[in-house]
Structures are given as C-alpha cells and as structure tokens.
Chains A and B, each alone.
Chain A
Amino acid sequence: MHILTLQPTLRGLAFAAFTEGSDQPAVESRLTLNQFDRSTHLFPPDLFARMNETLRRAELPPPTAIGVHALYGGDRFATPVFASDDVLSELETLAPQAPLLVPNLVELTRSVRHTYRTAPVVLAFETAFFVNLPQCEQWYGLDLELMVSQAIRRFGYHGLFHEAACRAAARHRRLSAPRVLSLCLEPRPELAACQGRRPVMVTGGNTLIEGLPGETTCGDLDPSVVLKLAHDTHWGPEEASRVLTSESGLRGLLGRAVTLAEVLGSTGASLQLARDVFLHCVLRACGAGIAALEGVDAIVYSGRYAASGAAVQAWLGPRLARATRCDIPHLIHARTLSQHVRDVTRVLVLEDKGRTRQTAGH
C-alpha cells in the first residue's frame, strides 16, 4: 500500500509519501501558499499539480490510500474515518466549534477526493483520542448547560502522538495498561496522563491556546489577564487571539522567534527565563497527571522535538523522584506526525479490506 499523508498548515500543506513496506517516507515536503492563493481559494488546484510533480520526479507510484491529518473532530469523531460525502457534511456542521480548523480541513479533503478519485481518503483526528475524556476533566467551571450546548469542553490536540506513546510504554514496561505521562514536544507542547490508552487528564483545552506555553502560544492564562489585554490595548477579540496565538509563549518571553528545542537544549542565561517558565509548567502538569492517575509507570517523550526529552528528563526526573520517592522509567519515542497519520490510515484501510473479504466470503 502506497500511502500519501497530508497535513494542512496555516501557510500551506505538508505532505509525505510512503511506499509499500517502508516506515520512512520516500518523499517529505511542504508547499507554501501565497496570499493571493489564500484569498481566492483555500487549496487551489495547482497545489496538487505541484505536489504530484514532486512525487513524479521521485518516481513514486500513485497513492493507493491517503491520510489527512485532522486537528478537530469534536465529540462526533472518536475514531479515524473514511472521508465520505456524509462524513464531510457532518464535519462541516462542526465548523462553528472550530472555525479556524474545520472549514480548511473540509475544503482540503474535498479537493483531495476530487483529485485522487480512486484512493480512499482517511481522516486521522487528533481530538478522537480525547472524546471520552472523563467528565471531571472535560468540563470547565462554567454553566454546564452552556458548555453542553456550545461544545465548550476540554480536548487535547496531540492525540495521535499520545496514543502511539501509550502503546510504546506498554511494550517498554510490559504492562497491559500502564499509567503514562505522555509529553508531546511539538511547537504547541502538550502533556496527557493516560491509563493504558485512556486519557484521564490533558493540558490541552477547548482551543489550541490553553495548556503548556508553546513556541508562540501563551498557554494557561488568568481569564482576567485576557480581558485586561483586550480592554487596555483596545484590541478586539480577534487581535487579542492573534497575539496570544502567534506572538506569545517562548517568543513572547524572549522577544524573538525561537524553537522549543533551542530553549531546552541551551544552558545560556539569555534563554533561562523561557526555559524555567516552560519546565515549571511541565513539572506542575506532571504532578497533576500523577494525582489524576494515582501513580505513574512511565514517562514518554514524543513529537518533533522528542530528542529534547533527554534534557527535560534530566531536570524533571530528580524532582519527580523526590516527590514520589521512586525513579520513574522514561523513554523517547521519536516518530513523526506523518508516520502516525500513515499508521492510522494503513490500519483503517487494512481493517476495511478484511471486512470486505469477510463479507464476500459469506
């Protein structure tokens, strides 16, 4: 099975092509859209022509299945699904819940189905892992009826990484349902506490802003600060959202663009405040996760900066050991997002083929 994975981003589209039997992508690239393209069409037709040209140059066969990375599926999508007309219509109804994510995703998926008519398209939802988060973790301290009617609840946005981390921890610790702290070190980092493959706590929230501070996202913030910022600066909610999403986090603390890996890998004084703020937040989140799990069997570091997990562990390990009086085993699970989307797509397509064969057999 040749699988093409697609990941819509704010500025374009990242893609990776996996040939049959290979765990590593044969091609991995990123297409950037200019402002003109963006204003006329979310995903203009020539985008796929440019992508196909890249695949052709690499002498790759046409994809037999396509996996699309989907950040948001709300309560409705608790598993990956084939992108049928019905599914896309249903997904479209979730647009008011995530207006910056869902329309983009639907547009991309429709274009993909139109371009690759014979290949099944799978939507791999990040939020699916968190659909059944315990109610005590889902809800905020707000009017319950309002939260239910407006779908204001906590999700997490790195479900694919966390789920894979939980599987890796089970293998590593040889336990069927280990209690895992899964720290996904992405530009928007996230910690989830999971029992087996069931998350019970996550730092992510209703939107992509809440949680650990990211490269440009503020993370947890006193609601009064949000209101003060919007009011005192005379920003509207949109401008405030832009600043809290794109100019805050490590960048805001340092006053310049920086990666999480750079901050975690440095011992320099200039990055110290950002490093200390981040690690302090991680430590607190770990404590909350251990309380939620009532213990812990492993810590797993994943995400594109998984290698920086070693630096985090060197700082975190002794502190957790002091509070719990035990050394918590850790592992670094370095797989890319496109590999996770490829895995999810492959499993769903194979399961479907199996079901089809069974039906035909009957």
Chain B
Amino acid sequence: MNVLVFNCGSSSLKYRLIAMPAEEQLSGGEAQRIGPPTAKPSCLVLNRGAAGKETRVTPMRDHAEALQEVVHALRETPGATPDVIGHRLVNGGPTITEYSLVDDAVLAELIAQQDLAPLHNPPAIATIQACRHVFPGLPQVVISDTAFHRTIPDYARAYAIPHALSRELGIRKYGYHGISHQYVVTETARLMNVPLDQFRGVSCHLGSGGASLCAVVHGQSVDNTMGYSPLQGLIMSTRCGDLDPGVTLRFLAEARGDKVAVEERLNNRSGVLGLSGTSADIRDVLEAVAGDPASTRARVTADVYLWRLKKYLGAYLVLVGDAQAVIFTDTIGETVPEVREAVCSGMDVFGIAIDHERNIGADQLPADVATAGSRVRVWAVATNEEISIARSTYKAQCTS
C-alpha cells in the first residue's frame, strides 16, 4: 500500500510517498516559500535519492497550487501512485484523539477548530480540500500532533482557572510535537530492547523553530511542555515560552487590548531572537559565545535557553521516575552536541552521565551518547515524522 504523506507548514508543504508496511520511500520533496512573494522565489525541492536534490523554481500562491506541483512531480516517477493520503495536523482539537478518516463531518469539525493552531491548521485543511479534487475517491486520514498527548492525565492537563471558563472556552493543555515524540520514543524503545509499554523516559524535540519536552511512562505521553497553544514551555526561536500571566496582561494593557499585537510580539519577536537581539537560531548564538566569550548578550541568551531546558528535564525526570532514557531529536537535538552536553551535565543525581567524546562524535544517528556507567541512557535519534504519519495512516486504513 502506497501512503502519500503531507506535512504542512505555514509556508511549506513536505511530501513523501512511502510503500507500507516496508516503509520504503518512493518519492519525496518539499514545496518552499508558498504564499506571498519573499526575498527568494517559491520552489519545489525534489529528493532524487542517490541522484541528489533537484530544485524547480515555480510560483505557488497557496497550498492548492503547491499540491498541483507535487502531483506533477509524482507523475514523473513510475509506480508512484498513492493508495491513501495521510495528513499531519498540528492540533486536532478534542475530537481527533488518534487518527480520523476524513469525511464531510470530520472536515467540518476541523474547519470549526482551525483557530487552535492558526498558523498550521488552515493550510493543512486547504491541502485536504485540494486533495479531494486532485485525488477523488482516495481515502484521506488526518493524524494529529496532539493525539499522542491524549494520555496526559486530567490533573496535568488542567489550568487552575475557573472551571466553568475552561469548559466553556475549551481551555486545556493539548501538547504538541506528538508525531515526532511518538516516533523517537518507539525507535528508542526498540534500540534498547525495551517493550514500548514498559518504556519510561523524556523526549526532547528541539527544533530550530519550535521545541518541546515530553514525559513518557509506559510508552505514553504524561506531560508536554507546550500547552493550550505551542507558545508555552521552552524558549524557542521566536516564541517566548513560559511567561508570567501578569506580564502578558501588562503587554495587553499597553497595546490597549490589541490581542493580535501581543500575540505577534510573543510568537514572532521573542525567544532566542528577543533575548539575543540578532538571531532567532540558537546555533548562531552558541557560535557567537564560542567566538567571543565576552559577548554578554549572547552568553545571557544561551544561558537562559539552556537553563530552562535543564529545569524542564529535571521536572520531567521526577514525573517519569526511574527513567530509562533521555532522547534528543530534531535539528538542534540531533546536530548540536553542545546543547545535549550542557543540559545533561550535573544531572548525576538523576543517574545521567553523558560521554563527552561519544557526544561530540555522534555524526551517525541513532547514537547512545551516555557513559557506559550511566543508569539513564542518553540518545540522539533522528526524527521522522513522515514515517510516523505513514504508520498511523496504514494502521487506520487496515482497520477501517
């Protein structure tokens, strides 16, 4: 069965055609810079396997146009015919608890809840709608990032605000990055020969944009640093993460109640960018610190970023109790050993000892970078959200 996977960003569309259950990739690529013109033109980057990558510059005003380009590219590959389509949805709301076959009722529900992830859900929904025209009759499945977190207990999900308000406005922790957390947790349990339902650990999805930690017990999510929205938790590239509610209200008062202006500030002008004043990428900041240790602002930025990460790791290690592994994944987690080392250093109290040499030499993933004596293993594992989506889509199709 060929599963066509779509992973929609606000201005991008990744796709993979994967033969299941062999998990063999038949085709793949990414439409970039979809939408209004930017400094560089829209393009489709095709992954040609051993032949490398091919870039096609082509205008794509929206995700429907991007889909058309993807369809053209698929037709060029013999045998690249999808049997089912799987879509990533950043927030599936309370209704999409694992995965759902898309029918009119589900689509209407998704549209009604698209504000739960205003940057990501609308383009994903637009892609689903466009697929109905391009691939009529082909089943479509949505897999939500929030689904993996459906096992978070009520007491960890609740905010301490008036209960009636929470219920009326649908305010609760959803948690995010679930597809990635689920993938690396499953992968790490397999690498450690631990049955998934016995696995306990902390998964650290550290992207160059968003980032979250997930506490995992019995292979299931019991807490996630993101909350109702992807704004809460760790310090991210341009997102502030945790913030005193009093400060948010102060900003709102200063903006004379303009919610959008405050959202823009907290989502796009804060985090690493706000602290450093120069770059939204923690790698640039760490380089600046290494190049000029006297660079105070860069040092403060790095310290604040790493400190919050370390505190959350400690918080989740006690939630998990007797953890077997800490997992690092996504761009920063996989490729920046300095971050792994800074976060894991001084954590002997939790049974964590990172091996400096193994850590800096971990070019091939997955890699266990803990010392031989470390009770808790430390893994760097490459995430693969598309495979995770393909697995869930395949499962949904087989059980439907």
Cα of A205 to Cα of B241 in the assembled complex, Å:
14
Contact indicator A287/B319 (Cβ below 8 Å): yes
- B155: chain A residues within 8 A (beta carbon): 273, 276-277, 280
Contacts of A135 in B (CB 8 A): 300, 303-304
Distance in Å: Cβ of A273 to nearest Cβ of chain B? 6
Task: Kindly state whether residue B162 has any CB partner on chain A within 8 Å.
Answer: yes
B323 CB contacts on chain A under 8 angstroms = 323
Asked whether, in the complex, the Cβ of B351 is within 8 Å of the Cβ of A325, the reply is: yes
Contact with B along A249-282 (1 / 0, CB 8 A): 1101111000000000000000001001100100
Binding-face segment, B138-146, B225-233, B331-339: B225-233
A209-B246 CB under 8 A given contacts A141-B274, A323-B317: yes
- Interface centre among A209, A231, A323, by most chain B C-beta atoms within 10 angstroms, is A323
Q: Does B297 belong to the interface (CB within 8 Å)? A: yes
**When each residue 197-229 of chain A gets 1 if its CB lies under 8 Å from chain B and 0 otherwise, what string results?**
000010001111110010001111111111111
A22 CA / B317 CA spacing, docked (Å):
45
Q: Say whether A244 faces chain B, with CB atoms less than 8 Å apart.
A: yes
Asked whether A140 lies within 8 Å of B245 as measured between CB atoms, the reply is no
Given A141-B235, A143-B270, A320-B318, A223–B158 Cβ distance below 8 Å? no
Decide if B229 touches A222 in the complex (CB within 8 Å): yes
Is B245 a contact partner of A292 (Cβ separation < 8 A)? Answer: no
Is A28 part of the contact surface with B, judged by Cβ < 8 Å? no
Q: B253 on the interface (CB 8 Å rule)? A: yes
Interface magnitude class on chain B: 35 or more
Whether A248 contacts B161 by the Cβ 8 Å rule is yes
Least CB separation from B306: chain A residue: A136
The segment out of B57-65, B66-74, B121-129, B308-316 that lies at the interface is B308-316
> Within 8 Å of chain A (Cβ to Cβ): is B98?
no
Partner of A230, one of B257, B277, B305: B257
Do B227 and A286 have beta carbons less than 8 Å apart?
no
* B159, A143: Cβ atoms closer than 8 Å: no
Interface status of B45 (Cβ within 8 A of chain A): no
Closest CB in chain B relative to A278 CB, distance in Å = 8
| Given known contacts A142-B243, A288-B314, A277 and B158 CB-to-CB distance under 8 angstroms | yes
Chain B positions 337 through 356: 1 when the CB is less than 8 Å from some CB of chain A, otherwise 0: 00000000011111100000
A146, A205, A221, A287: the one contacting B315 at CB < 8 Å is: A287
Contact A222 B159 (CB under 8 A): yes
Which of B12-20, B47-55, B163-171 touches A? B163-171
**Which size bracket describes the interface of A in this complex?**
35 or more
Q: Given the complex, which residues of A lie within 8 Å of B357, measured CB to CB?
A: none
> Cβ of A205: which chain B residues have Cβ within 8 Å of it?
244, 246-247
Any A CB within 8 A of the CB of B147: no
User: Which residues of chain B are near A247, meaning CB under 8 Å?
Assistant: 162
CB contacts (< 8 Å) of B277 on chain A: these are 143-145
Q: Which of B245, B271, B308, B313 contacts A226 (CB 8 A)?
A: B245
Do B245 and A288 touch (CB < 8 A)?
A: no
- Contact between chains at B240 and A319 (CB < 8 Å): no
In the complex, the answer to whether A221 meets B314 with C-beta atoms within 8 Å is no
B247-A253 in contact (CB<8A): no
Does the CB pair A213–B160 fall under 8 Å? yes
- Alpha-carbon distance A276/B154, docked complex (angstroms): 9
Contacts of B350 in A (CB 8 A): 290-291, 323-324
B252 interfacial by beta-carbon distance below 8 Å: yes
Cβ-defined contact, A223 with B245, below 8 A = yes
Contacts of A136 in B (CB 8 A): 300, 303-304, 306-307
Taking a contact as CB atoms under 8 Å apart, the answer to whether A223 and B240 are in contact is yes
Which partner residue on chain B sits nearest A216 by CB separation?
B160
Cβ of B151 under 8 Å from chain A: no
The distance from the CB of A211 to the nearest CB of chain B, in whole angstroms, is: 9
Partner of A287, one of B159, B236, B275, B314: B314
* Cβ–Cβ contact B322 & A287, under 8 A: no
On whether A252 and B321 interact (CB within 8 A), knowing A207-B247, A223-B248, A228-B171, the answer reads no
| B156 in the interface (beta carbon within 8 A) | yes
A45 at the interface (CB under 8 A from B): no
> Known: A141-B241, A277-B155, A294-B346. Contact between A284 and B248, CB under 8 A?
no
Nearest chain B CB to A256 CB, angstrom units? 11
B259 in contact (CB, < 8 A) = yes
Most chain-B CB neighbours within 10 Å: which of A152, A237, A254?
A237
Does B284 interact with chain A (Cβ within 8 Å)? no
C-alpha spacing A225/B311, complex, angstroms = 23
Knowing A273-B154, A323-B322, A323-B350 touch, does A287 contact B317 (C-beta < 8 A)?
yes
Contact of A139 with B by CB under 8 A: yes
B34 contacts partner chain A, Cβ-Cβ < 8 Å: no
User: Is A236 in the interface zone, CB < 8 Å from B?
Assistant: yes
A149 proximal to B (CB < 8 A): no
Q: Is the CB of A230 within 8 A of B252?
A: yes
Chain A residues, CB < 8 A from B249: 226, 230, 237, 240-241, 244
How far, in angstroms, from A341 to B361 measured CA to CA in the complex? 55
Q: What is the distance, in angstroms, from B181's C-beta to the closest C-beta of chain A?
A: 18
Q: Is the CB of B349 within 8 A of A255?
A: no
Asked if A221 and B318 sit within 8 Å, CB to CB, the answer is no
**Which residue from A144, A201, A232, A320 sits with its C-beta under 8 Å from B297?**
A144
Find the A residue at minimum CB distance from B174.
A222
Interface assignment of A243: CB less than 8 Å from any CB of chain B: yes
Q: Kindly report which residue of chain B lies nearest to residue A206, judged by CB atoms.
A: B244
Query: Does A289 reach chain B (CB closer than 8 Å)?
Result: yes
Q: Is there a chain A Cβ closer than 8 Å to B23's Cβ?
A: no
Contact in complex: B300, A139 (CB < 8 Å): yes
> Which of chain B's residues 239-295 have a Cβ closer than 8 Å to chain A?
239-250, 252-253, 257, 259, 262-263, 266, 269-272, 274-277
Binding site for A on B (CB under 8 A): 153-156, 158-165, 169, 171, 173, 223, 227-229, 231-232, 235-236, 239-250, 252-253, 257, 259, 262-263, 266, 269-272, 274-277, 297, 300-301, 303-308, 310-323, 346-351
- In the complex, the 4 A-B pairs of residues with the closest C-beta atoms, listed nearest first: A291-B314, A207-B246, A287-B318, A276-B155
Task: Show 27 residue pairs from A and B whose CB-CB distance is below 8 angstroms, ordered by the A residue.
Answer: A136-B304, A140-B243, A141-B235, A141-B240, A141-B308, A143-B275, A205-B246, A206-B247, A207-B247, A210-B246, A218-B161, A222-B159, A223-B232, A224-B231, A225-B171, A227-B248, A228-B171, A228-B228, A240-B249, A280-B156, A283-B318, A284-B318, A288-B312, A291-B310, A291-B313, A291-B315, A323-B323
- Known pairs A142-B275, A232-B169 / 15 extra A-B pairs, C-beta < 8 Å: A136-B303, A139-B300, A140-B243, A143-B274, A144-B301, A222-B173, A223-B245, A224-B263, A230-B252, A233-B165, A240-B249, A252-B161, A320-B318, A323-B321, A323-B323
